[in-house]
Amino acid sequence: MYLEHFGLAQYPFSLTPNTRYFLKLPSHLRIFEAVVASLNQPGQFCKIVGEVGTGKTMLCRKMLNALEFHKDRFVTAFIPHPILSEEALLSALADELGLEDYSGKKYRELLIHITSEILRLASTGRQVVLFIDEAQAMPEESLSAIYLLSQAQSGSKLPMQVILFGQPELDELLDRPVLRPLSNDVETSFRLPALDAAGVEAYVQHRLAKAGYSGNHMFSNNALKLLVESSGGVPRLINVLCHKALMVAFGKGDRVVDDKHIRRAIEDTESLQKKKSWSDRFFA
């Protein structure tokens, strides 16, 4: 579409999480390093909360990739869509762990089967690390099943750790009385912040560079200022607006994205149009 026009090798603002575009902002890098370090700590649960589009899935995939280089110590499992019954969730986990003969097993059988595998791996010096994305959507019963698995004991070592990624509703879910034991085992907790003005500029320039752009600043100062205000520093919304603004600029034959292109992108973004204050401020 606009790749050749702007001298790009690939689309820089795709909504699909791609660890190639992970930007080591101080806030995100600090959380990444702290979570990886927590794998050697006694806590069995880690919680990472952020609003929609703040980069939780990107961070999750980055951590998964990092642990791939330490297969002698860690066995990773990833549950991306946890709106599952306890049996379905345990079946998904069994599949992630490469277990066989789990099909058709009931809840208790699955619990015993997976616990045995977790302990077997622990006996070889390997720890299971379970990543759950969108954890705020999990049924209470499914989270309780994960808690039961986490209680497996293997000497002084923890055979399994669980890292929960979720929207702020995850805090409310873990506050429910039935999940209080799990909540008490959350040793480390982080909140992903939105980007500030400097972070938005760094984010845009980083993604353009990773996509092959080597020219001068493609986005003007006015465009970046409006982008900060309209996106609220949320990476997913930044991606949406930047992609649309690049299409507008390409359609007009412009090679620099200015605030007029961002305004057109805002006009075309339904989630922003629902905010009456934005409509009043920019399009009255």
**Per the domain annotation, does 139 fall within a domain?**
yes
Is the CB of residue 260 less than 8 Å from the CB of residue 252? no
Domain match, 177 and 42 both: yes
Domain match, 214 and 117 both: no
Confidence class for position 27, pLDDT limits 50, 70, 90: confident
Q: Which range has the worst mean pLDDT, 12-26, 113-127, 136-150?
A: 12-26
Domain match, 120 and 231 both: no
Burial of 3: CB neighbours in 10 Å, binned 0-12, 13-18, 19+: middle
Q: Which range has the worst mean pLDDT, 206-215, 229-238, 272-281?
A: 272-281
Q: What is the mean pLDDT of the chain?
A: 89
Give the model confidence (pLDDT) of 240-251 as tens digits.
999 999 999 999
Domain match, 128 and 269 both: no
Q: What is the mean pLDDT of residues 186-207?
A: 92
pTM: 0.84
The two three-digit tokens of residue 69, written as one number: 């280089």
Task: Give the closest residue to 195 by CA, choosing from 236, 232, 241, 245.
Answer: 232
Domain match, 53 and 133 both: yes
Instruction: Quote the pLDDT of residue 273.
Output: 61
- CB contact set of 9 (below 8 Å; sequence gap of 6+): 3, 211, 212
Quote the DSSP letter at residue 178.
G
Q: Of the residues 139, 166, 191, which one is the last residue of a structural domain?
A: 191
Is the CB of residue 110 less than 8 Å from the CB of residue 94? yes
Distance separating alpha carbons of residues 229 and 212, to the nearest angstrom: 27
Domain match, 120 and 184 both: yes
Domain match, 67 and 179 both: yes
Per-residue CA distances from 153 to 36, 118, 122, 159, 186 (Å): 21, 10, 9, 7, 17
**Containing domain of residue 33, as a range?**
26-191
Confidence class for position 277, pLDDT limits 50, 70, 90: very low
Q: Of the residues 166, 191, 216, which one is the last residue of a structural domain?
A: 191
Task: Give the closest residue to 251 by CA, choosing from 271, 265, 237, 235.
Answer: 265
Domain match, 7 and 80 both: no
**Per the domain annotation, does 284 fall within a domain?**
no
Q: Output the domain CATH number for residue 265.
A: 1.10.8.60
Domain match, 66 and 168 both: yes
Give the model confidence (pLDDT) of 162-193 as tens digits.
999 999 999 999 999 999 999 998 988 999 88
Q: Output the domain CATH number for residue 162.
A: 3.40.50.300
Instruction: Quote the pLDDT of residue 157.
Output: 63
**Per the domain annotation, does 81 fall within a domain?**
yes
Q: What is the mean pLDDT of residues 106-117?
A: 93
Domain match, 163 and 204 both: no
Q: Which range has the worst mean pLDDT, 27-31, 138-142, 185-189, 277-281?
A: 277-281
Q: Of the residues 191, 212, 244, which one is the last residue of a structural domain?
A: 191
Task: Give the closest residue to 207 by CA, choosing from 221, 218, 191.
Answer: 218
Domain tally for the chain?
2
Domain match, 68 and 129 both: yes
**Per the domain annotation, does 245 fall within a domain?**
yes
Give the model confidence (pLDDT) of 113-134 as tens digits.
999 999 999 899 899 999 999 9
pLDDT of 85 above 70: yes
Confidence class for position 141, pLDDT limits 50, 70, 90: very high
pLDDT of 140 above 50: yes
pLDDT of 13 above 80: yes
Domain match, 104 and 209 both: no
Q: Map tokens 């002084």 to a residue.
A: 156
pLDDT of 135 above 50: yes
pLDDT of 19 above 50: yes
**Per the domain annotation, does 283 fall within a domain?**
no
Residue 237 in 3-state DSSP?
helix
